[in-house]
Amino acid sequence: MAKKPVVNATKQDGWVPKGFVNLYLTESQIADAMKRFEDWSKTEDAWGRELANGYRFTFSLDPKTMAVVCTANCKDQDSENYGWLLSSFAPTWQEALILTIYKSVIVLDGVWGDFDDKSPRGRYG
């Protein structure tokens, strides 16, 4: 008989999520993000800096909306963003990545903290 799997919130490396940063972008912010990062090399540079600073990015598909979700978290225990999850969703993984980087670097100025925005969800977020 198979044993029921044990669910443990703590990961092997000790990382435990504090929670999600709920930040939904306005139409003008989405336009600004796409303009700032329309040159893919700028996206790659910003993404590379985030990776070098201990951030991890994952991508998944939301089967209900068919949107691609990009989720970032910080694995650097010395970072004030350690434990927080920041995500964005968009029709493509590239747009989801751009929006996540834009949220982190531009909107939140690198400090995610306990930001909470109750805006309604849209096609992008």
Dihedral-angle region of residue 14 (phi above 0 means left; psi in -120 to 50 means alpha; beta otherwise): left
- H-assigned helices in the chain: 27-36, 40-52, 93-101
Within-domain flag for 9 = no
Tokens read off for 93? 């993984």
Within-domain flag for 81 = yes
Contact (Cβ atoms closer than 8 angstroms) between residue 97 and residue 87 = no
Within-domain flag for 100 = yes
Residue-level pLDDT at 116: 54
Within-domain flag for 116 = no
Best CA proximity match to 105, nearest among 53, 27, 58, 60: 53
Within-domain flag for 10 = no
Total domain count for the chain? 1
Amino acid (one-letter) located at 88: S
Regions of the chain short of the pLDDT cut 70: 1-15, 114-125
Tokens read off for 102? 């834009």
Within-domain flag for 90 = yes
Residue-level pLDDT at 48: 95
Within-domain flag for 23 = yes
The pTM of the full predicted model, rounded to 2 decimals, is 0.79
Within-domain flag for 101 = yes
Q: How far apart are CA 45 and CA 113, in angstroms?
A: 24
CATH number for position 68? 3.30.160
DSSP string, 54-74: TEEEEEEEETTTTEEEEEEEE
Instruction: Print the domain residue range for 44.
Output: 19-107
